[in-house]
Amino acid sequence: MGIYNPRQVIIVSSRYEGKDNAMTLSWHSPASFNPELYSIYVGKQRYSYGMIKKSRCFCVNFISADDKDIALTAGRQSGKDIDKFGEIDKEECSKIDCPRLKKAVAYIECELVDEFEAGDHAIFVGKAVYKKEVKRGDRLFQVEGDTFTTTR
């Protein structure tokens, strides 16, 4: 499985100038209790990088182990080329101008408070302005590439 794996899979949703996007990530982490901060690590070449940088917000969507298809849909193509929410059901976030996944088992709505360069990635740090755990259950973890497990 490698040194870094498995890692929990999330879907990060964003919106900029009326366009919604979703991307699959497994590089993410809580960053602080007080204030409550959450960090995501996004490749600078990714379409979502520019959307988050400009919109100054994002939503971290935790998905069920049963939603591998959502992870693959959000992760295989760029939102620059397709409307990923054409295949993934969404609803509006409560506190930020951003969509969230309708099937998310939990989510954290974040306002961007800081950004750090980290080689070919950026570390976006968001302040949690609203969060909710909808239901408990097994989560999806990435082993490598398109290989997943449901390890907690």
The whole domain housing 91 covers 7-149
Q: What is the CATH number of the domain that holds 62?
A: 2.30.110.10
Do the domain assignments include residue 2?
Answer: no
Do the domain assignments include residue 112?
Answer: yes
At 151, give phi and psi (nearest 5°). Answer: -55, 140
Three-class SS of 46-76: CHHHHHHHHHCEEEEEECECCCHHHHHHHHH
pLDDT in tens, 46-103: 999 999 999 999 999 999 989 888 888 877 777 777 787 888 899 999 999 999 999 9
**pTM of the shown model:** 0.91
Q: How many domains does the chain have?
A: 1
Do the domain assignments include residue 70?
Answer: yes
Cα-based distances in Å from 144 to 107, 118, 141:
24, 21, 9
Residue 15 β-bridge partners:
20
Do the domain assignments include residue 1?
Answer: no
Q: Which residue has the tokens 């408990």?
A: 136
